[in-house]
Chain A
Amino acid sequence: MKGYLGKVLKVNLTTGEIADEAIPDNVYENLLSGIGLGAYYLYKNIPADADPLGPDNILGFTSGMLVGTGSLVTGRWMAVCKSPLTGGWGDANCGGDFAPAIKACGYDAIFFRGISPEPVFLQVDDQGARLCDASHLWGKDAIETEDILRKECRVKLAPKVAAIGPAGEKKSLISGIVNDGGRIAARSGVGAVMGSKLLKAVVLAGKQRTKIHDPAGMKAYSKEVGAKFKQASMPGFLKGFAFPFLGWATSKVKSASATDGLMSVMMNKTYGTIAVNTMGLPNGDSPVKNWGGSVKDFPMRKYRKLNPDRILDRKIENYSCYSCTIACGDTCDISDLGDGKVQHAHKPEYENCCSLGTNLLINDLDAIFLMSESLNRAGMDSISAGTTLAYAIECFENGVLTEEDTGGLQLRWGDADAASELLEMMIQREGIGDLLADGVKVAAEKIGKGSESFAIHCGGQEPGMHDPKLDPMLGVHFSADPTPGRHTIGAGIYYNMMNLWKEVTWAPKVTKYPKSQEYIPSDEEALKSVALSCYKMLNDACGGCFFALIAGLDHWNLFRMLNDTTGWGLSGDEYMAIGRRIQTLRQMFSVKHGVEPKDAIMTGRVMGEPPLRTGNLKGITLPIEEMVSLHWKHFGWNEKTGLPEQEIVADLEERALVQ
């Protein structure tokens, strides 16, 4: 057992029973750990008719094969469950400090089923695992809960804590699970599942180390990676004011080519994701006005206030997740904002700045800071929450919602005060906020009156804040991933950074090609999107970070690190086959639970139906159904239905991964 512990902790919250369960070696050999282990366990153990918020659903906290192995930028954990938001496979990925804590307790994952009669938290330390009363924590926000539990459960070292806030407690379908002072596993409604089980937190304090095959080899490689990442620095002249120009310049480029992924490390080290705040307007990457507008609606005189340097003005210190040397995060001083009760906060990510800013035509950074912090404390997904605010504003603008519905609140584009107030109502499920707290799909089903066209989602989940009309492969992954709406699977720009073709024989090689090629459904583009899906699954099975992944094989080689860890000596092709198995198992999970994959194919304004009338992406409509169909075909799934073909299923059966 190199890189994994070979067992999971299973907790029945209904009965209070806690037990270890051994996992066969063949599961790790075929699916690795992390999301692969989660897919195996959930497919096997959740009955098809399980209510996502009922006792039969299972909520898993998984670590990863490379977590705690001495590798770099491998500190991410996943929450997995049947999603109450989509009805199919649900997962959410998160950084912070929780991933190594799972393995340090001697487990590759912890799985919860049942519903506790009273609020509880799970504590695991050298005295074993036990459920503890959480009645004094119920109602508290996630960060406050973490602070309390770190003190209450401290023995020699402070434990690591993952918790839900009020949004999860109130079973908001867009709620997540929070750790390390505001890092959130936000997607798929995982917080609602935790809340439905009356599980307030998981508190871990273990000391077990993970053994690996070649510690010296891993140490040498980590030294090499660390040195490269250290060297990668932003040119001094490249400040936030220049980013709109970079965005404009990329909008004019008619060709794409293989690029050096280390350049992305450079950007992420200095700014993190907020570098895209102003870069994404001129080229159309950032959605504007609920995906219906463009930079013409939010011109530079307005969006320049989202300049990332203005955010860094509040920086106190750099923040990194476990084992990360990129350190894209920052801790900021917000003591002068709001009621002044909160002193420090994580820097808002690009997704927050866009979903709570650009997409609502809001350029008030102070308001964005406060809304982001509210969401982190409540444990609510900023992408989904911001998209729901945009939906509500568009409903109000079109008379679908009135002041009577909103309790006197006038919802207008660009009105930060109204957006903030409505967001608090969503978090507390007060008034119209109760209706909106479950995301746009549920809201549109309840409100109706033609508002369905304002509800931006795929398969029930609101998509990430990147427009596929700029990078069509994003649209394929929005539509075809078993967790639809996911923006961190792949895109053409990422493929060109990763150099996968160097070690994966079937991955199309890139030198230079016309950008227009990305807009035409083809086997080559489909193979690229399949390659990214497989590689991302490997990454999530390892606990790797997407920002290291896009640095590319030249600078952060997952295959090399896996071989140092396991000693299996597998090739890139063999590891990609594991990624393919994981993705197929996730798809099979969704199908088992009644999801029709074709229903998640995103249509409407995100795909250019109708096309935008202004901006860099005006006039573009993506042939998304053909693109997704080819993606499915190259996965070995039926190109019309998205169902895995019999031979693919039989392969999983032969490997004893499904029954």
Chain B
Amino acid sequence: MRVKIYASGYCSFDHIDDEGFMTLTEGASVKDVLKKLGIPMVLRRLPLVAVNYEQVKVGTELKDGDVVSLLGPLSGG
């Protein structure tokens, strides 16, 4: 299955294609995405990730077409 990834500059993009998608095996979870993005294990439990724009736990199972967003650099004023 393919899920859309909004990663951030601190992530590895090795597993993200030019369209911003990651291919995963059926049954893969958010934890698998974080692992492929190179997020250090100690940070993987922090809820800095949303699926379909809703915060989820890292064990949440993904399905084809899901949108996974990671917290990126923030600014404003």
On A, residues with C-beta under 8 Å from B are 228, 231-233, 235-238, 246, 249-250, 252-260, 262-264, 267-268, 273, 275-276, 279-280, 285, 349-351, 354, 464-466, 471, 487-488, 491, 493-494, 496-497, 511-512, 515, 547, 550, 555
User: Scoring B residues 45 to 77 as 1 if CB is less than 8 Å from chain A, else 0, what string do you get?
Assistant: 011101001110000000000010111111111
Interface centre among B7, B16, B71, B75, by most chain A C-beta atoms within 10 angstroms, is: B75
B9 with A285: CB separation less than 8 A: no
B9 with A487: CB separation less than 8 A: no
Q: For residues 23 through 44 of chain B, which have their beta carbon under 8 Å from a beta carbon of chain A?
A: none
A263 with B77: CB separation less than 8 A: no
| B16, B54, B72, B75: the one within 8 Å of A260 (CB) | B72
Residues of A within 8 A of B16 (CB): 511-512
Residues of A within 8 A of B72 (CB): 257, 259-260, 263, 496-497
Interface centre among B9, B69, B71, by most chain A C-beta atoms within 10 angstroms, is: B9
Residues of B within 8 A of A252 (CB): 10
A253 with B9: CB separation less than 8 A: yes
Q: Which residue of B lies closest to A283 (CB)?
A: B73
Given contact pairs A228-B53, A235-B47, A257 touches B75 in the complex (Cβ within 8 A):
no
Given contact pairs A235-B55, A268-B76, A512 touches B71 in the complex (Cβ within 8 A):
no
Bound Cα distance from A237 to B54, whole angstroms: 15
| B8, B55, B77: the one within 8 Å of A350 (CB) | B77
Bound Cα distance from A125 to B13, whole angstroms: 58
| B6, B46, B53, B55: the one within 8 Å of A259 (CB) | B6
Residues of B within 8 A of A496 (CB): 72
Q: Which residue of B lies closest to A352 (CB)?
A: B77
Residues of A within 8 A of B55 (CB): 233, 235
**Interface residue tally for chain B (C-beta within 8 Å):** 27
Bound Cα distance from A295 to B74, whole angstroms: 18
A260 with B20: CB separation less than 8 A: no
Residues of B within 8 A of A497 (CB): 72
Bound Cα distance from A256 to B20, whole angstroms: 14
Residues of A within 8 A of B70 (CB): 259-260
| Interface SS of chain B | loop
Distance of A548 from chain B, by nearest CB (Å): 12
Residues of A within 8 A of B53 (CB): 228, 231-232, 260, 262, 555
B9 with A491: CB separation less than 8 A: no
A264 with B9: CB separation less than 8 A: no
Bound Cα distance from A256 to B71, whole angstroms: 13
Bound Cα distance from A280 to B73, whole angstroms: 11
B74 with A264: CB separation less than 8 A: yes
A257 with B77: CB separation less than 8 A: no
Given contacts A237-B46, A260-B67, A494-B75, 4 further A-B contacts (CB under 8 A): A260-B6, A276-B77, A512-B16, A550-B76
Given contact pairs A257-B8, A258-B6, A512-B13, A493 touches B69 in the complex (Cβ within 8 A):
no
Given contact pairs A232-B53, A253-B9, A262-B69, A275 touches B76 in the complex (Cβ within 8 A):
yes
Q: Which residue of A lies closest to B47 (CB)?
A: A235
A263 with B71: CB separation less than 8 A: yes
A267 with B73: CB separation less than 8 A: no
A351 with B77: CB separation less than 8 A: yes
B77 with A349: CB separation less than 8 A: yes
Residues of B within 8 A of A555 (CB): 53
| B18, B50, B73, B75: the one within 8 Å of A253 (CB) | B73
Bound Cα distance from A122 to B47, whole angstroms: 52
Bound Cα distance from A402 to B75, whole angstroms: 38
Which 4 pairs show the lowest CB-CB distances between chains A and B? A259-B72, A260-B6, A260-B69, A255-B9
Distance of A368 from chain B, by nearest CB (Å): 15
Bound Cα distance from A254 to B20, whole angstroms: 19
A512 with B9: CB separation less than 8 A: yes
Residues of A within 8 A of B11 (CB): 257
Q: Which residue of A lies closest to B74 (CB)?
A: A267
Bound Cα distance from A262 to B10, whole angstroms: 18
Bound Cα distance from A417 to B22, whole angstroms: 56
Bound Cα distance from A497 to B69, whole angstroms: 11
Residues of B within 8 A of A550 (CB): 76
Bound Cα distance from A351 to B75, whole angstroms: 12
| B10, B20, B77: the one within 8 Å of A464 (CB) | B77
Interchain Cβ contacts under 8 Å between A and B, 9 examples = A232-B53, A233-B55, A235-B46, A237-B47, A238-B48, A276-B77, A466-B75, A488-B77, A497-B72
Residues of B within 8 A of A511 (CB): 13, 16, 18, 20
A285 with B75: CB separation less than 8 A: yes
